[in-house]
């Protein structure tokens, strides 16, 4: 095999030189941008290779492979595009390798592919690989980067839940309420959602949990109830869902002095694109944490890590199972690491 370096002022110029000397069958091995030590002028260097028996000029190649002027024009245009793409891909590979040396480590490629298949965002996966050489170190890296709440969910005074319609806010209230009842905690349900179906649902949940439920219209009324009951009971507050989750911003000032967690409920089975759209739409400064619902319906778990990192909000809990199941599941946030590394949700 013949290997040679070519230099020139532009990619196009160097590629033309490669084509003239080695022919169109030459393979681009690498590209780099360099500077002359004396003049400090920039130039492009391309390393190309070709089998010895295939080394012929472009004119010979033309006579050997092409028979009409029209086909030459077509092949020549395609060839130029292919060579341009080769050069760009090679330069991109070189640039990324400099930024993330882990990509040049064959032993880490398996970890990278593992994370990508689990839907961890590529750049977040690369950052993890800078700190991990094997699966055990990957587990530790995820644990260190994952944002989680300091207190367990049953140590909080209560929660107010925000989220899109259908993400499982009321079902989450049932699951957390059941867990609190199992630990002999007194609870009260409060709902700002006046829709008939929501009122009926909250009443049904309160009946199952054997606790009091209140329905209110005005935020000021919410403040009065919270101020009166916060030291006596764990408060679980439901809100109506809307695409902008606007109520979170409206209640931010009202709740700023209340010792209650403002929690954004995210559907764990949603795509990253849909989930991130929610974060861009709402006022994330109006929430304290994230809770994930429907983890049993999720196919992969990388999005949970993505949202924890990208939102800047800690995860408080994860819930599993449908409403009314005899064994409700409220899982701690560090379960996310096990889900990603192990890939299995324990239901």
Give the separation between CA 284 and CA 63, rounded to whole angstroms: 66
Bridge partners, 190 (sequence order) = 214, 237
- pLDDT of 68 strictly over 50: no
**Do both 156 and 305 map to the same domain?**
yes
Which structure tokens are listed for 202? Answer: 């909250």
**Do both 58 and 182 map to the same domain?**
no
Bridge partners, 45 (sequence order) = 7, 32
Determine phi and psi for 26, rounding to 5 degrees: -65, 145
Tell me if 142 sits within 8 A of 111, measured CB to CB: no
Which structure tokens are listed for 160? Answer: 């107010």
- Residue 125's CB is within 10 A of a number of other CB atoms, namely 23
Instruction: Report pLDDT digits (tens) over 161-205.
Output: 999 988 999 999 999 999 999 899 999 999 998 888 889 999 999
Place of tokens 């049953």: 154
Q: Last residue of some domain: 97, 113, 131? A: 97
The H or E element containing residue 293 is strand 289-293
The SS3 call for residue 121 is: coil
The answer to the question of residue 220 being in a domain is yes
The domain total for the chain is: 3
Helices (H), the chain: 11-22, 58-65, 69-99, 106-117, 122-129, 135-145, 169-182, 196-209, 219-229, 246-250, 252-255, 272-281, 302-311, 335-342
Tell me if 292 sits within 8 A of 316, measured CB to CB: no
Least confident among 6-15, 196-205, 258-267: 6-15
**Do both 140 and 163 map to the same domain?**
no
- pLDDT of 66 strictly over 60: no
**Do both 151 and 296 map to the same domain?**
yes
The answer to the question of residue 58 being in a domain is yes
CA atoms within 13 A on the CB side of 158: 23
**Do both 322 and 284 map to the same domain?**
yes
The answer to the question of residue 347 being in a domain is no
**Do both 159 and 284 map to the same domain?**
yes
Give the separation between CA 110 and CA 90, rounded to whole angstroms: 21
Instruction: Report pLDDT digits (tens) over 70-89.
Output: 444 545 555 666 666 766 66
In terms of residue numbers, what domain contains 136? 102-144
Using CA atoms, how far residue 203 sits from 36, 46, 169, 193, 212, in Å, is: 78, 72, 14, 12, 9
CA 18, 23, 25, 26 dihedral sign is negative
The answer to the question of residue 54 being in a domain is yes
- Residue 105's CB is within 10 A of a number of other CB atoms, namely 14
Give the separation between CA 34 and CA 6, rounded to whole angstroms: 12
- Residue 213's CB is within 10 A of a number of other CB atoms, namely 19
For position 152, what pLDDT does the model report? 92
**Do both 51 and 198 map to the same domain?**
no
**Do both 6 and 88 map to the same domain?**
yes
Q: What is the DSSP letter of 104?
A: G
The answer to the question of residue 176 being in a domain is yes
CA atoms within 13 A on the CB side of 94: 14
Which structure tokens are listed for 52? Answer: 């010895």
For position 67, what pLDDT does the model report? 47
The answer to the question of residue 195 being in a domain is yes
The SS3 call for residue 315 is: strand
Contacts of 164 (CB under 8 A, 6+ apart): 241, 242, 243, 245, 267, 278
**Do both 187 and 136 map to the same domain?**
no
Give the separation between CA 284 and CA 208, rounded to whole angstroms: 33
**Do both 188 and 297 map to the same domain?**
yes
Tell me if 307 sits within 8 A of 290, measured CB to CB: yes
Bridge partners, 235 (sequence order) = 158, 188
- pLDDT of 90 strictly over 60: no
The answer to the question of residue 151 being in a domain is yes
For position 24, what pLDDT does the model report? 72
Place of tokens 């360099």: 34
**Do both 47 and 120 map to the same domain?**
no
Q: Is pTM beyond 0.85 here?
A: no
- pLDDT of 333 strictly over 90: yes
pLDDT band at 347 (very low <50, low <70, confident <90, very high): very low
**Do both 93 and 114 map to the same domain?**
no
Instruction: Report pLDDT digits (tens) over 201-250.
Output: 999 999 999 999 999 988 889 989 998 999 999 999 999 887 778 888 88
If you count them, how many residues does the chain have?
A: 347
Give the separation between CA 136 and CA 149, rounded to whole angstroms: 23
For position 289, what pLDDT does the model report? 94
């Amino acid at each position: 095999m013949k290997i040679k370096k070519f230099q020139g002022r532009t990619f196009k110029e160097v590629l033309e030189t490669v084509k003239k000397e080695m022919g169109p069958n030459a393979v681009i091995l690498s590209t780099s941008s360099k500077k002359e030590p004396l003049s400090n002028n920039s130039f492009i260097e391309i390393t190309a290779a070709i089998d010895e028996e295939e080394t012929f000029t472009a004119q010979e190649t033309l006579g050997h492979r092409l028979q009409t002027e029209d086909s030459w024009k077509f092949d020549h245009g395609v060839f130029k595009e292919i060579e341009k793409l080769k050069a760009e891909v090679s330069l991109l590979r070189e640039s990324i390798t400099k930024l993330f040396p882990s990509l040049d480590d064959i032993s880490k490629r398996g970890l990278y592919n593992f994370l990508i298949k689990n839907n961890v965002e590529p750049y977040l996966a690369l950052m993890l690989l800078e700190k991990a050489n094997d699966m055990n170190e990957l587990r530790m890296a995820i644990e260190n980067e994952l944002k989680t709440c300091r207190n367990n969910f049953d140590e909080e005074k209560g929660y107010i839940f925000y989220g899109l319609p259908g993400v499982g806010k009321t079902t989450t209230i049932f699951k957390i309420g059941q867990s609190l009842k199992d630990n002999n905690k007194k609870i009260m349900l409060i709902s700002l959602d006046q829709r008939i179906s929501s009122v009926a649902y909250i009443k049904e949940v309160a009946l199952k949990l054997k606790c009091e439920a209140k329905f209110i219209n005005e935020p000021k009324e919410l403040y009065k109830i919270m101020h009166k009951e916060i030291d006596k009971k764990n408060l679980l507050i439901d809100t109506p869902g809307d695409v902008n989750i606007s109520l979170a911003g409206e209640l931010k000032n009202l709740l700023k002095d209340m010792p209650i967690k403002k929690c954004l409920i995210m559907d764990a089975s949603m795509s990253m694109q849909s989930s991130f759209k929610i974060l861009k739409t709402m006022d994330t400064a109006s929430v304290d944490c994230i809770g994930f619902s429907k983890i049993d319906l999720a196919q992969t778990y990388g999005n949970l890590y993505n949202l924890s990192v990208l939102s800047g909000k800690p995860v408080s809990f994860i819930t599993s199972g449908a409403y009314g199941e005899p064994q409700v599941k409220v899982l701690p946030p560090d379960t996310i690491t096990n889900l990603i590394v192990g890939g299995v949700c324990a239901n």
